[in-house]
Every structure is written in C-alpha cells, then in structure tokens.
C-alpha cells in the first residue's frame, strides 16, 4: 500500500497562506503521517508564520481532535476566555462560540496573559455554507506599517485591558479562572498574573497591563502582539454596545482596552489598526479536513461572518512567557 507523499515545501501565493498538498493511497493513517512530519510542520509554521495542510483525509471531530493532539507536544490550558468553548481534550477546544453574523477581528490568542501559546492549530470538521474565513496577518509587517508615533506610545505605555465578568454575558468568572468558583483561588491566580481585581454586586472586575510589542521567542523579531483593537468597545456592534451600557453602565462593559496610562483609545485609532491589519491579510476558504498551523506570535488571525454550520477544532500549545 502506498503511503502519503512526503512533506514538501509549502507553495506560497499572493494573498494566500503557504499551502502543502498531501496525496496518497489509503495505506498510511493520517496520524502516522503527522507523527513523521510533525516537527517539520511546526518548523514551517515558525518560518512562514502559518502553513495550511490539505488532503490528509481527516474525517469528523474525533479525527480532528486526535490530529491536533498529535501536533501539540505541550498543550496550553486557556484561562480568561471571552466566549464559551467546548473542551475536547487538554489544550484542544471548539472554536469560540461567537455570533456567526459578527466578525472576530484580528488578534493573537490569549495575548492578554503573561504565558501565551506559541502555536495554534485548526482543523476543519464542517466548512460553513459561506463565509467563515479564518484570515491571517503577519504581525511583523503590521508593526512596520503602523505609524511610528502610535507604536512608540504603545511601547512606552503598554495597553490596558479592563474586564467586567457578568453572570449572563460572555464567560462568568466561575468558569473563566481555575478554582471552580473559589474566590480565593481566583484572587491567587490574579496576583500571580499581575491582574488587579475587585468584587462588586455584579461580579468580578479586572485590570491588566500588557506590552503591545513582543519579541518572537526563537528569532527575536519584533511583533505587534496584542488585542488592542479586537477587545476595544468600539469594535462592538453599536446596538449591542448601547444595550450593554444601559444594562451595566459605561464603566460596566464586559471589556474594553485603553492606553497603559488609562487614556481611552479613540475610534479613529481602532479603525487605523484594523485598516493596517487588512492591508496585510491573507485568506483561504475552508475545506473539510483542512489542517492549519499558526505561529501565534508571528501571525494574527480573525474569523469572518458566516452562514450555515461551521465546526473548527482548535488546539493551543507551546506555552511561553514573552
């Protein structure tokens, strides 16, 4: 029986992620192929920022979970999520439960934490009827293209993330932190992570200050690494933001971002950051069984609105402190 073809160098085309096509008979299991080529695939993701593998014949959720577990030798356990996920295995999740008609703007996964996943992997179980693209942007190019005074300000001040954990919006604090709802465990986690916290009748409020620019742990390259635009209140649907402000007050929004000195970030700055991301965005249409590896420091990702069913299994791994 014929095994899958050996791993080739990715084909790089304009406005597309690097692509590796795999072909072969049914003689070799996809997981065996991944076992043989896992190190090389991770290396390609680190070199190019991302790599899309197509043709491995991964069918169904169980195949997807097994494949991603094979690719992640050091799983990353996520805390402080913004939207619910289903946990399939340690470090392997469903994609975030975000309204399908609302985009998820460009961001680096968990870039508001001290310890972050260096590698992400996505596997398409069910492609959407339309839309639902996972778009990618090179954070080195984004950094180089942003206005120097804006970068200097964020490098000097950092960026601030403010969160309000409400019972019925997003993920409640009891599920977002380790400890199963134990306040003492949450407070201990926050202290270890450099998060200022406070309790009120509505729940938990947190504030964390993080750098906007990070150096890649292997290459030392400077990268625009944050969620400044994605988590700013200006990216919310205006009707949703108005409702949340009426329900919880302007200071009670589930999340927003500021400059590190507490100065609000205006809409023009948020729009500018997203415009620069768009100039450096590459896209592809998901096909069933696609496997995408993303270097989480070199490459930001987003999710565009979609119609129909869509199931993407996600893995995070290689935890690092930047």
CB 128 within 8 A of CB 169: no
Residue 21 located in a structural domain:
no
192: domain range?
Answer: 141-277
Residue 307 located in a structural domain:
no
- Into how many domains does the chain fold? 1
pLDDT bucket at 3, cuts 50 / 70 / 90 = low
Q: What is the pLDDT of residue 10?
A: 87
| Per-residue pLDDT reduced to its tens digit, 187-239 | 999 999 999 999 988 789 999 999 999 999 999 999 999 999 999 999 998 99
Distance CA(126)–CA(32), nearest Å, equals 23
Residue 176 located in a structural domain:
yes
What's the mean pLDDT when you consider all of the chain?
Answer: 93
* pLDDT value at 1 more than 50: no
Residue 223 located in a structural domain:
yes
Residue 229 located in a structural domain:
yes
Distance CA(297)–CA(223), nearest Å, equals 7
Residue 98 located in a structural domain:
no
Residue 317 located in a structural domain:
no
Mean pLDDT, range 282-299, rounded to an integer: 97
pLDDT bucket at 24, cuts 50 / 70 / 90 = low
| Per-residue pLDDT reduced to its tens digit, 252-276 | 999 999 999 999 999 999 999 999 9
Residue 6, sorted as left (phi over 0), alpha (psi -120 to 50) or beta, turns out to be beta
Tokens 């999740």 found at? 93
Q: What is the pLDDT of residue 26?
A: 54
Residue 56 located in a structural domain:
no
Burial class (CB within 10 angstroms; exposed 0-12, middle 13-18, buried 19+) of 147: exposed
| Per-residue pLDDT reduced to its tens digit, 114-173 | 999 999 999 999 999 999 999 999 999 999 999 999 999 999 999 999 999 998 888 999
Q: What is the pLDDT of residue 4?
A: 64
* pLDDT value at 68 more than 90: yes
Residues 6 or more apart from 182 whose CB is under 8 A from it? none
Q: What is the pLDDT of residue 89?
A: 95
Give the residue, 30 or 156, on which the prediction is more confident.
156
- Model pTM greater than 0.75? yes
Q: Looking at residue 184, which CATH number applies to its domain?
A: 3.60.130.10
Which tokens in the block code for residue 316? 């995070």
Distance CA(66)–CA(16), nearest Å, equals 26
pLDDT bucket at 8, cuts 50 / 70 / 90 = confident
Is the Cα torsion angle 145, 140, 51, 285 positive or negative in sign?
negative
């Amino acid at each position: 029986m014929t095994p899958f073809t050996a791993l080739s160098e990715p084909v790089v085309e304009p406005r597309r992620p690097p692509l590796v096509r795999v072909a072969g008979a049914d003689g070799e299991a996809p997981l065996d192929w991944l076992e043989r080529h896992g190190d090389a695939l991770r290396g390609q993701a680190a070199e190019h920022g991302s790599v899309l593998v197509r043709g491995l014949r991964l069918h169904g959720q169980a195949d997807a979970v097994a494949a991603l577990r094979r690719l992640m030798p050091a799983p990353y356990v996520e805390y402080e999520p913004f939207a619910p996920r289903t946990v399939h295995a340690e470090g392997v999740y469903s994609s975030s439960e975000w309204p399908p008609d609302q985009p998820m703007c460009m961001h680096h996964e968990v870039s508001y934490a001290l310890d972050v996943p260096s590698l992400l992997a996505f596997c398409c179980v069910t492609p959407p009827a339309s839309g639902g693209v996972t778009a990618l942007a090179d954070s080195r190019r984004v950094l180089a293209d942003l206005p120097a005074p804006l970068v200097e300000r964020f490098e000097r001040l950092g960026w601030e993330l403010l969160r309000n954990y409400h019972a019925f919006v997003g993920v409640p604090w009891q599920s977002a932190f380790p400890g199963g709802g134990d306040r003492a465990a949450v407070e201990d986690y926050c202290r270890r992570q450099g998060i200022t916290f406070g309790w009120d009748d509505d729940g938990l409020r947190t504030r964390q200050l993080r750098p906007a620019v990070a150096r890649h742990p292997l290459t030392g390259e400077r990268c625009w690494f944050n969620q400044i635009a994605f988590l700013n209140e200006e990216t919310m649907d205006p009707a949703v933001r108005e409702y949340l402000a009426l329900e919880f007050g302007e200071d009670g929004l589930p999340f927003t971002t500021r400059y590190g000195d507490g100065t609000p970030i205006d809409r023009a700055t948020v729009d500018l950051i997203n415009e620069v991301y768009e100039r450096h965005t590459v896209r592809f249409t998901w096909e069933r069984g696609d496997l995408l590896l993303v270097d989480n420091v070199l490459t930001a990702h987003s999710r565009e609105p979609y119609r129909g069913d869509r199931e993407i299994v996600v893995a995070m791994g290689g935890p690092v402190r930047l």
